[in-house]
Structure 1
Amino acid sequence: MHRRNVLTGAGVVGIASLSGCLGVLGLDSHESKPAGVDEGVLADTGYEQTKVEPIGIEEEFDAVLYTETIRVTNYLTEHEKAIDLGPLGRQRAAVFMVLTTPKVEVAGRELNPVEDMSTDELVSLVEDNYDDIGDITHQGDESVTILGEGTTVSQFSADAQFDGQDVDVRIHVSEAVQTDDDLVVAIGIYPEQTRDQEGPNVGSLMEGIIEDAHDDS
């Protein structure tokens, strides 16, 4: 299962429609802060933070009299866990990601479309950004508290590939929750055969999200 660039478009679609106004207001550049998971929760669930990746997006839009460039920097904090996949051996097949994308408000109106995206829309972005994942089917919803805010988390079944072998996976995706400056989305993916263990772990990881990723440099 190879990630191309998860949710690359998050934070720029929709903002583009008001690009001219944003430039006039000095709001043509936006950057979120990376979020992560509490170290104690990572230790309890067996996950390890492996990467904090800035995802920079720069789009140029034609206004009436000039060209406007909008720059958005999202952050993706990735956590992994090695799972025994039988004939495939142990692989880092359980992944938990925390995406942050900046809030953009003008006159009290939030322009970042991620705020209003449903979990179905968000999981479609995940599907679009993985090379070897497809046939996503909604399985159910639950309420989880992330950063003190109750939000909907949906579970989906899907097909994926590891080393050329087909593997059924389970995906958990949260709706966005707000910090003071950003929107936060959580995504968990693991082999279906480990659902009894990793399902509760993903719930713990979501509830253990913190606003600052650990500095592993």
Structure 2
Amino acid sequence: MNHNDSPTTDHATSRRRFLLASGAVGMAGLAGCTTVDVLRGEEVEFEAGTATVADAALADTGYQLRGVSAETRTQEFEVAGRPRAVQVTNRTAEYDKAVELLGERYQAAVFMALATPRVELLGRSYNPIADSDSEDLAERITARYDDVSDLERGTDYTTSILGTDTTVVVYAAQGDIEGTDLTIDLELQIADPVEAGDDFVVCLAAYPESFGDGENVRRMMNGVEHTPE
């Protein structure tokens, strides 16, 4: 894992095509745009709010807020038979927990709360992370480590996030901590998305298996709060 890394805003662009039914076009509520904008081919934007962990839930876990970053992706939809570009801005609150190794402190455990906006076009609603399964989401958080391998799905359990019962999948993996020659056993927890107003929220965690942080992670998931954009 990166040593003393600082949060950055990643402006990534990915293009994927999604087919929306092109039946009768009615006036639909669009965040910051109109149906006319979509039909004219003008780019429309959807921006998520922020999901964070309440201070009370964070207390005594050893995790601290590292920062909140934004990531903007351009996705392409087919609307009324024509391709339309839509900008989707996600926000991620990242928390970490340090461990001392060889006299140095490394951020060895990570918890993320990702908020992504609900996209509504011409009366149709779309979840931008609907096609991401738990393994896809696991890759997002294992990027905080070096050379993660042997990702293996284990058990799952149900817990409450933002008042909704959701499934959390537990994975095992191995990963290297940058700046050391150490390979450690990791445990990951990946929650299914839950609805939060006009957004969807996903919670992700990765930590050394030796930490035994499962209960801390569950506590933080239960303590997630959502602030609209």
> What is the CA RMSD across the aligned residues, in angstroms?
3.6
Alignment of 1:137-216 (within 5 A): 137-162=152-177, 163-164=179-180, 165-195=182-212, 198-212=213-227
Aligned with residue 61 of structure 2, among 30, 40, 45: 45
The answer to whether the 8 Å contact 1:138/1:156 transfers is yes
Distance in 2 between residues matched to 1:129 and 1:110, nearest whole Å = 32
Q: CA deviation at 1:69?
A: 3.0
Structure 1 or 2, whichever has the larger Rg, is: 2
Counterpart of 1:39, as a letter, is D
Residue 77 and residue 125 in structure 1: after superposition, are their counterparts in 2 closer, same or farther (change >3 A)? closer
Residue 184 and residue 93 in structure 1: after superposition, are their counterparts in 2 closer, same or farther (change >3 A)? same
Q: CA deviation at 1:38?
A: 0.3
Counterpart of 1:104, as a letter, is V
Counterpart of 1:189, as a letter, is A
The answer to whether the 8 Å contact 1:96/1:189 transfers is yes
Q: Percent identity among equivalent residues? A: 31
Q: CA deviation at 1:65?
A: 9.5
Report how many residues are paired. Answer: 207
TM-score using structure 1 length = 0.78
The answer to whether the 8 Å contact 2:187/2:206 transfers is yes
Aligned with residue 98 of structure 2, among 79, 82, 88: 82
Q: CA deviation at 1:112?
A: 2.1
Q: Deviations over 1:85-136 (max 9, x none)?
A: 4x46432211110001111134664322424643234224545786532221
Q: Which structure dedicates a bigger proportion of its chain to helix?
A: 1
TM-score using structure 2 length = 0.75
The answer to whether the 8 Å contact 1:115/1:183 transfers is no
Q: Secondary structure at the match of 1:46?
A: coil
The answer to whether the 8 Å contact 2:142/2:206 transfers is no
Q: In the alignment, what sits opposite 2:73?
A: 57
Residue 59 and residue 117 in structure 1: after superposition, are their counterparts in 2 closer, same or farther (change >3 A)? closer
Matched, 1:112 2:107: no
Q: CA deviation at 1:49?
A: 0.8
Aligned with residue 133 of structure 1, among 144, 148, 153: 148
Matched, 1:96 2:93: no
Q: Secondary structure at the match of 2:197?
A: coil
Q: Secondary structure at the match of 2:56?
A: helix
Counterpart of 1:187, as a letter, is L
Structure 2, unaligned runs of 5 or more:
26-34
Distance in 1 between residues matched to 2:132 and 2:71, nearest whole Å = 19
Distance in 1 between residues matched to 2:144 and 2:9, nearest whole Å = 6
Residue 201 and residue 128 in structure 1: after superposition, are their counterparts in 2 closer, same or farther (change >3 A)? closer
Residue 166 and residue 131 in structure 1: after superposition, are their counterparts in 2 closer, same or farther (change >3 A)? closer
Residue 116 and residue 205 in structure 1: after superposition, are their counterparts in 2 closer, same or farther (change >3 A)? same
Structure 1, unaligned runs of 5 or more:
none
Counterpart of 1:31, as a letter, is E
Q: In the alignment, what sits opposite 2:48?
A: 32
Q: CA deviation at 1:185?
A: 0.4
Q: Secondary structure at the match of 1:123?
A: helix
